[in-house]
Amino acid sequence: MTAAGRICTSIKHDDPRRNIILVGGHVAALPERTLREEDADFVAGGEGLHTLISLVEALKTPAPRLTVPGLCIGMTMAFVPP
């Protein structure tokens, strides 16, 4: 994922507070590895569209609990199975 990795790094360089989520077949197959190797905060390890919608809904709540099915979270490497 060299091109996607460079884009993530560029975004983080511009604004480190900006959250990045990666979705797609490669990241779904290797979510933990993707988080180790790329400057992403979240990876959709399951069905990307469903995971993304659930993440947006969770982040809208006053105290979001990131227990979104299929989501892998960067800092903790926590993964919620799809």
Give CA angle at 7 (13, 3), nearest 5°: 140
Name the amino acid, one letter, at 20: I
CA gap 9, 57 in Å, rounded: 26
- What pLDDT digit, counting tens, does each position of 2-16 carry? 798 899 999 999 999
Distances, alpha carbon 60 to alpha carbons 25, 27, 44, 53, in Å: 26, 24, 18, 11
Determine how many CB atoms are found less than 10 A away from the CB of residue 18.
10
- What pLDDT digit, counting tens, does each position of 13-41 carry? 999 989 899 998 888 888 888 888 999 98
Give pLDDT, residue 76: 62
Percent of the residues in the chain that have a pLDDT greater than 70, as a whole number: 84
